[in-house]
């Protein structure tokens, strides 16, 4: 999982067209910024499908993301690529995730603790309950070495 293909451009039509993403940071908590997100699996790769909605009166830019240590060691595979958000606009992107970068000791759980920052607002913290099916291969098979890891 190299970082050379870790980012999917925002204008590429690969964001999910399924049901709406769950809201993880409501606009009432985010001072007008609403974030919806969910882990997804596409072509053997895990992504964080994330949508930003700007309900403020100003432009929001310079978005960054950080994941806390977690059971699966999930971390961002590269920087978050979000264009400047004009008031009333939204953007959705897929952020490739990598494994074993951020492993948390202790009892396993599917909770993903996330911090998001932009140039105009404070850091926003939220928790996202990861969907376990994204960790399974599409064909149901697993190499012996992967299983033992």
Checking if the pLDDT of 68 tops 50, the result is yes
pTM beyond cutoff 0.85: no
Higher-pLDDT residue of 117 and 19 is 117
Task: Give the model's pLDDT for residue 17.
Answer: 54
Residue 90 has pLDDT above 60, yes or no: yes
Backbone angles phi, psi at 30, to 5 degrees: -90, 25
Measured CA to CA, the distance from residue 42 to residue 38 in angstroms comes to 13
- Taking only the tens place, the pLDDT of each residue in 17-61 is 557 899 999 999 999 999 999 998 888 888 999 999 999 999 999
What is the C-alpha to C-alpha distance for residues 58 and 120, in angstroms, rounded to an integer?
Answer: 9
Main-chain phi, psi angles of 132, to 5 degrees? -65, -25
The Cα-based distances of 125 to 49, 71, 83, 101 in angstroms read 17, 18, 21, 20
Domains present along the chain, CATH in parentheses: 23-132 (2.60.40.1150)
CA distance 21 to 27: 15
- Highest-scoring range by mean pLDDT, 40-49, 51-60, 70-79, 125-134: 51-60
On whether the CB atoms of residues 60 and 84 are closer than 8 A, the answer is yes
């Amino acid at each position: 999982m190299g970082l050379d293909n870790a980012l999917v451009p925002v204008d590429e039509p690969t964001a999910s067209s399924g049901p709406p993403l769950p809201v993880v940071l409501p606009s009432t908590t985010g001072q007008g910024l609403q974030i919806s997100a969910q882990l997804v699996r596409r072509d053997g790769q895990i992504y964080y499908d994330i949508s930003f909605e700007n309900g403020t009166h100003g432009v929001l830019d310079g978005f960054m993301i950080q994941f806390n240590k977690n059971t699966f060691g999930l971390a961002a595979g590269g920087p978050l690529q979000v264009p400047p958000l004009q008031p009333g606009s939204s953007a959705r992107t897929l952020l490739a995730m990598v494994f074993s970068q951020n492993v948390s000791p202790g009892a396993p759980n599917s909770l993903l603790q996330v911090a998001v920052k932009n140039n105009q607002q404070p850091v926003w913290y939220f928790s996202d309950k990861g969907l376990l099916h994204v960790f399974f291969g599409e064909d149901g098979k697993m190499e012996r070495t992967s299983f033992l890891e």
